[in-house]
Chain A
Amino acid sequence: MVNFILRRMLAAIPVMAMVAVIVFAILRLTPGDPAAIIAGDSATAEQLDQIRRVMGLDQPIYMQFFIWIGQLVRGDLGVSLLSGTPVSQMIVDRMGPSLALCLSTITLSVLLALPLGILAAWRQGKLLDRFVMATSVLGFSVPVFVTAYLLILVFSLKLGWFPVQGYRSPDEGLWMFVRSLTLPTLALSTVYVALIARITRTSIIEVMGEDFIRTARAKGLRERGVLLGHALRNAAVPIVTIIGVGIALLISGVVVTESVFNLPGLGRLVVEAVLGRDYPVIQALILLFAFIYVLINLVVDTLYTVFDPRIRY
């Protein structure tokens, strides 16, 4: 097990290295001179040269890459061009709302989607199943921001139950915190619920055809015991996999949701950095999100062995 985790971690290193190369390439190879952007329209040629020297842009491209990697390895993510704050500091400052939003979304999605998927599988082909499946296609298709605005329209503007926008940290009172996160969580969850419910249904239906399910029924187990004790446990691997893969979807959703609800998290920081062409921040955030994605999928891989002891590495 430990051996496996170590090997799996080693395998994640080339992926991260590749992400670093891609991020670097995107920022350096796309048209547009970073120095010119920083200096503004009125800069003279000397000023441009100076900025290039300070930023190391006068070095050959491979040297720039290695200098940058060296800084990364030492934990130096650079300094924001707009605010002058170290990027690592900005990430720490803005992490709270995003973390809260992601955790609440994943929790809510799993709590909603698992029962829905199990019910749909249990009633395969029946009205309930069709309803759940139809809703899940809908959940895939309605973009997060449309769901978000519909929720705002109904629950904030018409009913006045939740604030339209804004974030309250838990220090300002748990109730305010929960209220400010409710609509964003609901909006962001729709896609995730759809995804997990769908995969839960198919995996359980697949497992239900196995011999051990017949055995479980034959020994007189109730349907609930068969579904939860045998089918769900054996369907766990694809479900956990989709939760891991869905992290990419979740991160994209966080960017949109935080913008709609004006939550001061990492997602909105991305948009601010992109609109302000704040290169070091964009670079660092893409790397960070890719790192999170790789890390979570690493965790998912190790979870396989927990859910399915037959899997040996």
Chain B
Amino acid sequence: MSSSANTALATPGTAPAAIRSPFRRTLSSVPVIIALAALAIMVIMALFAPWLHTIDPVQIDPTQRLKPPSGAHWLGTDAYGRDVYSRVVYGARVSLVVGLGVAAFSMVVGLAIGVAAGYFRWVDAIVMRIMDGLMAIPGVLLAIALVSLSGASLTTVLVAITIPEVPRVVRLVRSVILSVRNEPYVEAAVSLGTPTFTLMLRHLVPNTMAPLIVQGTYIFASAILTEAILSFLGAGVPPEISSWGNIMSEGRSYFQLIPGLVLYPGILLSLTVLSVNVLGDAMRDVLDPRMSRRL
């Protein structure tokens, strides 16, 4: 072990410059700070929606249909007289839940399947054929089919968006496992009689964490997008839930009259996805330099 590594271990607060600097440089770059701030605002919106000058987003007021922005309705009203600003703020909740939910689900499921496939040859043969098949079906298509057939609800949407994302995680995890399973330290652990499950958890899984977190960020972004697409096409979360996709879907018919009904949630959606992608790129640069050189 080199002396610099020793110092780093002895005093964790002062990591060697070579380790610390990319973190610092990446995290203090202007786009990353803006992205973090934008995401923070979105999380605050989602968490504190009831206290942000919002009116009940499902409250219908026929006398106030399709009104332009005003003091009472900051972004105007929609075709049912509902307050667009409130609907957009509450919509952040749906996007956040879907993004986090799908990222978490697909990472956990993909990790489990990927580790099994990478470690056991017989699992690999079967599982990877299924994954190949799933990957050949365009994700949005698979998701809308799943939602429409099992009925619209937030849970169905979560599951339907998760299923097409899983194969990507499985492939990633499997490739990492395959590359480390013949490393001497794994062989050492095997020869010491480490139970398979412990071996996986302690020696194999940690290797997958860095690329998995990066991939998770991208899945978060793509899940938010897919949810919006599904709702926009009318095959997403039920219409009574205020999601950005639903607001846009209902605003479509009035686009020539009030473009804001589509554009406000659309721009917010784009900014959110953009911020997550910028963060994902930054995390990839820090956590997984090899991958960053590839794309």
> CB within 8 Å of B: which residues of A?
14-19, 21-23, 26-27, 30-32, 134, 137-138, 140-146, 149-150, 152-153, 157, 164, 198-199, 202, 206, 248-249, 251-252, 255-256, 259-260, 270-271, 274-275, 277, 282, 285-286, 289-290, 293-294
Question: Within B174-207, which residues are at the interface with A (CB < 8 Å)?
Answer: none
Note all chain A residues with C-beta closer than 8 A to B148: 274-275, 277, 282
Note all chain B residues with C-beta closer than 8 A to A26: 142, 145-146, 149
- Pick from A14, A143, A199: contact of B129, CB under 8 Å: A14
**What 9 A-B pairs have minimum CB-CB distances, sorted nearest first?**
A18-B133, A252-B140, A146-B266, A141-B274, A30-B149, A141-B273, A251-B138, A274-B148, A142-B270
Asked whether any CB of chain A lies closer than 8 Å to the CB of B66, the reply is no
Asked whether any CB of chain A lies closer than 8 Å to the CB of B56, the reply is no
Are B145 and A248 in touch, CB under 8 angstroms?
Answer: no
Are B269 and A143 in touch, CB under 8 angstroms?
Answer: yes
Are A255 and B233 in touch, CB under 8 angstroms?
Answer: yes
Are B294 and A202 in touch, CB under 8 angstroms?
Answer: yes
1/0 per residue, CB under 8 A from A, across B231-271: the answer is 01111000000000000100010011001001100110110
User: How long is the Cα–Cα vector from A173 to B149 in the complex, in angstroms?
Assistant: 40
Note all chain A residues with C-beta closer than 8 A to B273: 140-143
Are B266 and A290 in touch, CB under 8 angstroms?
Answer: no
Asked whether any CB of chain A lies closer than 8 Å to the CB of B8, the reply is no
Q: Which residue of B lies closest to A256 (CB)?
A: B229
In this complex, which of A21, A30, A271, A293 has the most chain B Cβ atoms within 10 angstroms of its Cβ? A30
Note all chain A residues with C-beta closer than 8 A to B278: 137
Q: Which residue of A lies closest to B222 (CB)?
A: A140
Note all chain B residues with C-beta closer than 8 A to A198: 295
1/0 per residue, CB under 8 A from A, across B202-217: the answer is 0000000000000000
Are B145 and A286 in touch, CB under 8 angstroms?
Answer: yes
Asked whether any CB of chain A lies closer than 8 Å to the CB of B17, the reply is no
Minimum CB–CB distance from B255 to chain A (whole Å) comes to 6
- Mostly, the B contact residues are helix
1/0 per residue, CB under 8 A from A, across B124-144: the answer is 000001101111111111101
Asked whether any CB of chain A lies closer than 8 Å to the CB of B86, the reply is no
Are B234 and A275 in touch, CB under 8 angstroms?
Answer: yes
With A30-B150, A32-B149 in contact, is A248–B295 under 8 Å at CB? Answer: no
**A-B pairs with beta carbons under 8 A, tally:** 150
Asked whether any CB of chain A lies closer than 8 Å to the CB of B121, the reply is no
Note all chain A residues with C-beta closer than 8 A to B140: 252, 255-256
With A26-B145, A137-B277, A248-B138 in contact, is A19–B133 under 8 Å at CB? Answer: yes
Q: Which residue of A lies closest to B143 (CB)?
A: A252
30 of the cross-chain contacts (CB-CB < 8 Å) are A14-B129, A17-B133, A31-B150, A31-B151, A137-B278, A138-B274, A140-B273, A141-B274, A142-B273, A143-B228, A143-B266, A143-B273, A144-B229, A145-B229, A145-B262, A149-B262, A248-B138, A252-B138, A252-B139, A252-B229, A255-B138, A255-B140, A259-B232, A270-B144, A271-B233, A274-B144, A275-B235, A289-B141, A293-B136, A294-B136
Asked whether any CB of chain A lies closer than 8 Å to the CB of B225, the reply is yes
Are A206 and B277 in touch, CB under 8 angstroms?
Answer: no
A248-B138, A289-B138, A294-B136 known; 4 new pairs, CB 8 Å cut-off, are: A17-B133, A30-B149, A31-B151, A274-B148
Are A137 and B281 in touch, CB under 8 angstroms?
Answer: yes
Are B229 and A143 in touch, CB under 8 angstroms?
Answer: yes
User: How long is the Cα–Cα vector from A271 to B293 in the complex, in angstroms?
Assistant: 39
Note all chain A residues with C-beta closer than 8 A to B274: 137-138, 141-142
User: How long is the Cα–Cα vector from A40 to B259 in the complex, in angstroms?
Assistant: 37
User: How long is the Cα–Cα vector from A310 to B146 in the complex, in angstroms?
Assistant: 43
Note all chain B residues with C-beta closer than 8 A to A134: 31
Are B142 and A286 in touch, CB under 8 angstroms?
Answer: yes
Are A286 and B137 in touch, CB under 8 angstroms?
Answer: yes
Note all chain A residues with C-beta closer than 8 A to B31: 134
Note all chain B residues with C-beta closer than 8 A to A32: 149-151
In this complex, which of A141, A149, A202, A255 has the most chain B Cβ atoms within 10 angstroms of its Cβ? A141
User: How long is the Cα–Cα vector from A282 to B142 in the complex, in angstroms?
Assistant: 10
Asked whether any CB of chain A lies closer than 8 Å to the CB of B221, the reply is yes
User: How long is the Cα–Cα vector from A289 to B145 in the complex, in angstroms?
Assistant: 13
With A146-B269, A274-B145 in contact, is A21–B133 under 8 Å at CB? Answer: yes
With A138-B274, A256-B232 in contact, is A22–B293 under 8 Å at CB? Answer: no
User: How long is the Cα–Cα vector from A274 to B160 in the complex, in angstroms?
Assistant: 14
Are B149 and A141 in touch, CB under 8 angstroms?
Answer: no
In this complex, which of B135, B259, B267, B294 has the most chain A Cβ atoms within 10 angstroms of its Cβ? B135
